[in-house]
Each structure stands twice: as structure tokens, then as C-alpha cells.
Amino acid sequence: MLVADEELMAQCRRGDMGAFELIVRRYQNRMVNYITRVINDHHRAEDLAQEAFLRVLGSVQHYRPKGQFKNWLYLIATNLCRNELRNRNRQSTDLFSQLGLESSDSPGDQQSPVFEDLLSDSRYLPDRLYEQKEREQMIRQQVDLLPENQRLSLVLVTYQELSYQEVSQIIGCSVSAVKSLIHRARQKLKQKLIEIGIEESSNAKIRVR
């Protein structure tokens, strides 16, 4: 029988580190996947996921479930993602200020290079497989360019399969605001994907409930 997350946290509070290890195993891959999709850096995502679990452990004595543990964990991870993205923006701004460049000269206005590491030689791949990878890369690049809350909402609903209500609790806004964020994100993505010539069928990758 699957032990509920909240019960595992109660066991952690009583000093059972085995319960904490079970929580980590239960959510580790999901957290790394989520953070990677938000910040587009798998290695850094692993570090941030570890930091999220350390924060859970550090707060275990004060943890009292007011909702699902899962949502609290996503909230911690989301705050870490926000900090990471904002630190990057500040570092970029400082660098370009030192170089005397305008903000429009920043690489942040270009497509992220993180997803440009396609298989180096496509000659030995079936054409359809290569095209699928290329479309996925383009979609991820466009998601990376979305405003912070739009990106977070879209990733949480589409890839993490959370409800609008859960997302509203995680990013700190109303359910209607979440729906609006996702609608605007989808419209921006659809426009961009049309501009870069991705066929309509690939839009299924960004469809949300």
C-alpha cells in the first residue's frame, strides 16, 4: 500500500530518514524534469532539485500539511527557479552594462542555445526522426522565451500535469489568472511556430487541458 506523502513527512518529523529517502526517490526525477524545462539547464536543475529536498528536510519540524505535500514541493522548486532566472538576468544586465551594450543586444533576446545540441550528424538518422527532434527543439526554444509566469504555468499544466487550482497555489495567483497566462502563452507559441514554419500537427506538444 502506497504511503501518503504527508504520512512520510510525519515519519520524517519523528526522525525516520528512510521516509525522507522515499520522498526523494518518489519525486526526484519529476523535480529534475520540471526544473530543467523551466531553466533549460539539466546539470543546474539537478543541483536545484537537491536544494529543494534539502529545504524540505530543513523545514520538516515545522511542516504542517495545509494542502498536498506535492504542491508545497513544487512551490519550493518554483521559487528556486525564479531565483535562478532572475540571477541570470541580473548577471546579463551587469555584463552588458559593463560592455556598453543596450538590452536589445543581449543574448536573452535570441533563441536559447541550450537546445541547439541536436545530434551532430543527421546523415545516419531517419529523416522523420531528425525532423521530430528539430521540431521539439524549436518548440522548447520558444517556450524558453515566454515571460516567467507564462512559462511556469504552461510547464506545470502541460508537462507536470497539475490542475489549474494547483498551479494557482504554486505561482500565487487566481485560477482565472492561470488560465489567462496559459491562453496567452499558447497564442504566443502558436504565432511563433507558424512564423518558423512548424506544421500544425506539432502543436499537440503544447496543448493544455
More confident residue, 129 or 197: 197
Q: Domain residue spans in the chain?
A: 5-84, 111-206
Q: What is the pLDDT of residues 32-59, one digit of tens each?
A: 999 999 998 999 999 999 999 999 999 9
111-206: CATH architecture: Orthogonal Bundle (1.10)
Q: What pLDDT was estimated at residue 103?
A: 45
pLDDT digits (tens, 9 = 90+) for 72-129: 999 999 999 999 999 987 765 555 455 555 544 333 333 333 333 333 344 445 566 6
Q: What single-letter amino acid sits at 61?
A: Q
Predicted confidence at residue 99, as pLDDT, reads 56
**Alpha-carbon distance 150 to 145, whole Å?**
10
**Contacts for 2 with CB less than 8 Å, ≥ 6 apart:** none
- Per-residue pLDDT at 209 exceeds 60: no
Helical H segments across 100-158, by residue range: 127-144, 148-158
Residue 101's pLDDT is what? Answer: 55
pLDDT at 98: 57
For residue 16, the SS3 value is: coil
User: All 3 cell numbers of residue 49?
Assistant: 532539485
The two domains 5-84 and 111-206 share their CATH topology (first three levels equal): no
Domain 5-84 has CATH 1.10.1740.10: yes
Kindly report the pTM of this predicted structure: 0.75
Measure the CA–CA gap between 55 and 76, rounded to whole angstroms: 8
**What confidence score (pLDDT) does residue 193 get?**
82
Residue 30, pLDDT > 50, answer yes
Residues 6+ away with beta carbon under 8 Å from 15: none
DSSP state of 209: -
Nearby residues of 180 by Cβ (< 8 Å), 6 or more positions away: none
Can you tell me the distance from the alpha carbon of 54 to that of 46, in angstroms, rounded to the nearest whole number? 12
Q: Write out the three cell numbers for 98.
A: 559593463
Residues 6+ apart with CB under 8 A from 107: 92, 113
Q: What is the pLDDT of residue 115?
A: 36
pLDDT mean over 170-185:
95
pLDDT mean across residues, the chain? 81
